[in-house]
A and B are shown apart, each in its own frame.
Chain A
Amino acid sequence: MATQAILIVDDEAILLFALKQSIRLHFGERYRYETAMNGEAGVECIRELLHEGIEVVLVISDWLMPGMDGEAFLRLVRQEYPSTKLLMISGHADEAEIEKLMTDLNLLGFLRKPWSHQQLFNTIESALNRSTGS
């Protein structure tokens, strides 16, 4: 049984499902894969998993979401769970914005939709292999 989880947050249902499945198929049973439709649900999810004794090692979040947007959500996660690695995905962002976000939130990666699966897996793997406490 996995003790680590990867949380995916996106307000787009079909994307959430597809992304989760693709990651699961790639990374297998090493991790648990949880999804949330918005920031608040995401935070709730992390808490519950922690309750079960499972650490969320990676959070992948969409940027533009109604309510708490990705930036706010990740900031919150970083604040509360500084050891969690963060990745952001977005359907539209320009270089400057990406730069800014990566610096601000200490993102370990930023993916543009649509991504190639190779891109995705590489980014996740490099993020997971990064040493914590950055």
Chain B
Amino acid sequence: MRKMLKKRIVPLAVAILLFVPSFIRPPITAAMTKTVNVLFIAALEPGDSDLQDILQTFKHELRSQGVRTEVFIEFLDAVRIAADRERMDSFEKTLQSRFVGIKFDIILAQGNLISDFAVRYRDRFFPGIPVYCFDRLLGPEYAIKYKDSPNVYGRMTTSTVPTALRLAESLFPDNTGILLVIPEMSEIHRDSMVKVLNDLQTEFPTSVFQLITTKEFLSAYSLPSSKDQSIVLVLLPGAWRMENGDMISGIDLIDWLLKQYPYPILGTKKSEFGTGLVGGAYLDPVSLGRQAGRVIFDILFSEEKPEAWQESKTETTAVDYRALQRFRIPLSHVPKDALVLFTPPGFWIRFEKQIKICVAILLIIFLAMVIIHFIRSREHRLLVRLNEQLEGMIEKRTEELIITNQELEAANGNLKSSLIRIENMQESLLENERDAVLGRMAVGIAHEINNPLAAVKSSAYSLRELLGRGPESLFSLLYNMNKNQLNLFFKTVNKILVKASPPLGSQDEQDKNKIKNRLREWGIEITSEQAEMAYDAGLAYLERGDIENLNITGDDTVLKALFFANVIDKSAAIIDQASDRISGTVEVVRSYALSQNDENETGISSITDTVNHALSLLHDPLQKGITLRVSMQPGLAEVPIPPFNLVRVWVNLIQNAIQAMKGKGILEIQGYMTGSDVLIDVKDSGPGVNPDIQDRLFMPFPYAEKKGMGMGLGLSICRKIVEMENGSIMYERTDDWTVFSVRLPGLRR
């Protein structure tokens, strides 16, 4: 708080202390000890404002020096008193009675006559006090006059009359005469005026300068006549005695003169200006006063007394603008150093009211415009802002759109490349599957060929052994037979050979036991070995009688020969069958290979053909323990799927069925029409698909792992092949049957 006070108040106080004094008059304090009583005898000139100016200025001057002045004024009609001794005395008395008891320090006297009186008065009543004389027209002669009088000071002025006369000359160069009108005055004064006029006459030879008293003027120029139109009057200050005896001076005088006479009038007193004077030259009263004050101070208080009479020059030349207008004086006639007074108010002041109204209106309009502009600019700004916002939003949205678009494009690109990848993958998967299938098929094919081959080779060996290579051959056996045996042999061998057929496998065991049991039934006890041989001999097909004839228990030579013959025959039959098998497989491979490479292959399949094809490929697995039932409705439409692909589908489904049945069961393939579509059902009696993976069944790798039995892509590829042509494949489990249904669009013939 204190800090704030310090900060705020101290500067304020300093400011006050610094600046305020300039606006305050120095107070009168006890320090001002000097008080001066001044007797001021002034010339009686009503309407003279110069006096006041002088007074005020000189008082202020003294005050600033610390002197308080008490001024006692008395006006004196000097002219009158100067003429009348009695009057002067009575004035003296008046003064005395008025200012009883006052001790004057100095007497001020304005005017030449008053100065005389003042000096005389001082000498009589206040001897020793200084007298200060000043006036416009106190010339150097006064210095001389009062040379011997002690303590008389004054200020000399150069007369402004010559300047006034020169001004008159320059303003009215066409004048017919310049009259210097002087009121009643002392001789000394008059003589100086004459001198002035003579000087001017010399300066302006073409002009006429004339000195004339007021009395003379009034009588001579009471009525203006035409021949005197161009004269110019120059007045000296002072009162004029009219014909009726009145004394008129100052402004009243000039007023009267202007009413009476048309002549331009110039003056020498500031107070007369503004009344109608054309112009003139005067002494500035303010500077007069100031100078007076300084001198008086020095007179009263200085150690060194000033010079008794000093000169001062405070002349001002002035011209009344209105008079210039009236007399049509061009400004070029006005001396450059002259003041032009009373210039009319300029345009701005003359039409001040109208201008003010205009300005007010303009201001209102301006304000209105500003407000409107402000409002509109606000609106505009709002609009702009909204616009910017909108644009910003648009930009942002556009950017977002662009980004989204880019993202979309990128995503699209990704999708495209993903799609391509997937397609490639599918293709490669298909290829792999195809390879896998091929691989499996290759295995199967190898199997299909190698098995028969092995059988062929074994059979070939047996044949050669039995026909001569071995230790025992058929020929040797026959060679060593007797006739009976030979008869029996040939009789039986035909029966065996006719009936015998390649072994069917599954019936072998039954036949073996059948023989055994039959022989036992018939009371023929043979060893298992013999039974084995008997069976291999083909005796299963013989009747009891034939078998008994053989007398196996006794001599088994014939049995052996029969056995050999049977084996020979069977071996040849095996070779035959095996060859068929191999050629069949070769054909399948060939057609398979052809269907793959055939570019001209039509994309149209016959259901029956493709199913058969598939079955032939899987001939081997099918033969073992699986009952196959194929029923194709006659007139099945063809389908728009390449046979190669469709065969793959069947192969897949059939293989799956076989695997599911573990090689034993019933496989049914049914084909029929529904509407224009072809339906093919692959049914198996297997246990069906694990419910856990049913919904993934047609997807790649529905099982977590599949050991060795394919790649897990089979069904997914089937679906792809089928769905490529708007077909469908479904899995169903009905009545202990596992059914894979394939629906394909049929082609109309």
Complex Cα–Cα for A19 and B504 (A): 15
A104 → B minimal CB distance (Å)? 15
> Of all chain B residues, which has the CB nearest A116?
B457
Complex Cα–Cα for A64 and B466 (A): 31
Do B503 and A13 touch (CB < 8 A)?
yes
Give which listed residue, B448, B509, B578, contacts A41 with CB less than 8 A. B509
Which of B14-22, B416-424, B567-575 lies at the interface with chain A? B567-575
> Of all chain A residues, which has the CB nearest B469?
A25
Do B470 and A25 touch (CB < 8 A)?
yes
Do A18 and B450 touch (CB < 8 A)?
no
* A113 cross-chain contacts in B, Cβ below 8 A: 450-451, 453-454
With A15-B455, A18-B571: A66-B624 Cβ-Cβ less than 8 Å: yes
Do A21 and B450 touch (CB < 8 A)?
no
* Complex interface bits, A40-73 against B, C-beta within 8 A gives 1, otherwise 0: 0100000000001000000000001011000000
Do A66 and B621 touch (CB < 8 A)?
yes
Do A16 and B505 touch (CB < 8 A)?
yes
Residue B662 at the A interface, CB < 8 A?
Answer: yes
With A11-B624, A13-B504: A18-B454 Cβ-Cβ less than 8 Å: yes
Complex Cα–Cα for A45 and B609 (A): 42
Complex Cα–Cα for A26 and B280 (A): 179
Do B663 and A66 touch (CB < 8 A)?
yes
* A34 cross-chain contacts in B, Cβ below 8 A: 532
Residue B327 at the A interface, CB < 8 A?
Answer: no
With A113-B454, A114-B453, A114-B456: A21-B462 Cβ-Cβ less than 8 Å: yes
Do A67 and B663 touch (CB < 8 A)?
yes
* B457 cross-chain contacts in A, Cβ below 8 A: 18, 114-117
> From residue 468 to 518 of chain B, which have CB atoms closer than 8 A to chain A?
470-471, 502-506, 508-509
Complex Cα–Cα for A1 and B506 (A): 27
Residue B69 at the A interface, CB < 8 A?
Answer: no
Do A15 and B454 touch (CB < 8 A)?
yes
Complex Cα–Cα for A116 and B464 (A): 14
B414 → A minimal CB distance (Å)? 42
B458 → A minimal CB distance (Å)? 3
B741 → A minimal CB distance (Å)? 26
Number of contacts between A and B (CB, 8 Å)?
A: 112
A102 → B minimal CB distance (Å)? 19
Complex Cα–Cα for A91 and B442 (A): 11
> Of all chain B residues, which has the CB nearest A37?
B505
Complex Cα–Cα for A17 and B447 (A): 17
Residue A96 at the B interface, CB < 8 A?
Answer: no
B603 → A minimal CB distance (Å)? 33
* Complex interface bits, A94-134 against B, C-beta within 8 A gives 1, otherwise 0: 00000000000000000011111100000000000000000
> Of all chain A residues, which has the CB nearest B659?
A66
Question: Interface residues of B, CB < 8 Å — how many?
Answer: 45
Residue B664 at the A interface, CB < 8 A?
Answer: yes
* A41 cross-chain contacts in B, Cβ below 8 A: 509
* B443 cross-chain contacts in A, Cβ below 8 A: 92
With A32-B528, A114-B456: A18-B662 Cβ-Cβ less than 8 Å: no
* B509 cross-chain contacts in A, Cβ below 8 A: 41
Residue A79 at the B interface, CB < 8 A?
Answer: no
Do B506 and A37 touch (CB < 8 A)?
yes
Do A25 and B462 touch (CB < 8 A)?
yes
Do A18 and B459 touch (CB < 8 A)?
yes
Residue B337 at the A interface, CB < 8 A?
Answer: no
* A116 cross-chain contacts in B, Cβ below 8 A: 457
* B456 cross-chain contacts in A, Cβ below 8 A: 18, 114
Complex Cα–Cα for A21 and B566 (A): 11
B197 → A minimal CB distance (Å)? 161
With A17-B503, A21-B462, A66-B624: A35-B455 Cβ-Cβ less than 8 Å: no
- Which has the most chain A C-beta neighbours within 10 Å: B453, B470, B624? B624
Do A1 and B529 touch (CB < 8 A)?
yes
* A25 cross-chain contacts in B, Cβ below 8 A: 461-462, 465-466, 470
* Complex interface bits, B175-214 against A, C-beta within 8 A gives 1, otherwise 0: 0000000000000000000000000000000000000000
* B452 cross-chain contacts in A, Cβ below 8 A: 14-15
* A19 cross-chain contacts in B, Cβ below 8 A: 454-455, 458
B561 → A minimal CB distance (Å)? 14
Complex Cα–Cα for A122 and B457 (A): 16
* B471 cross-chain contacts in A, Cβ below 8 A: 28
B496 → A minimal CB distance (Å)? 15
Residue B225 at the A interface, CB < 8 A?
Answer: no
Do A14 and B574 touch (CB < 8 A)?
yes
Give which listed residue, A11, A17, A32, A112, contacts B529 with CB less than 8 A. A32
Residue B577 at the A interface, CB < 8 A?
Answer: yes
> Of all chain A residues, which has the CB nearest B574?
A14
* A66 cross-chain contacts in B, Cβ below 8 A: 621, 624-625, 662-664
Do A21 and B458 touch (CB < 8 A)?
yes
* B505 cross-chain contacts in A, Cβ below 8 A: 13, 16, 37
A77 → B minimal CB distance (Å)? 19
Complex Cα–Cα for A43 and B663 (A): 19
Residue B446 at the A interface, CB < 8 A?
Answer: yes
Complex Cα–Cα for A91 and B458 (A): 14
With A25-B470, A66-B663: A92-B532 Cβ-Cβ less than 8 Å: no
A-B contacts besides A28-B471, A67-B664, 16 pairs, CB < 8 Å: A13-B504, A16-B503, A18-B455, A19-B458, A22-B458, A25-B462, A25-B465, A33-B532, A37-B508, A64-B447, A91-B448, A92-B443, A113-B454, A114-B453, A115-B454, A117-B461
Mind listing 18 A-B residue pairs with CB under 8 Å?
Answer: A12-B455, A13-B508, A18-B454, A18-B455, A18-B462, A19-B458, A21-B536, A21-B570, A25-B465, A25-B466, A32-B532, A37-B506, A52-B528, A67-B663, A91-B447, A91-B448, A91-B450, A115-B457
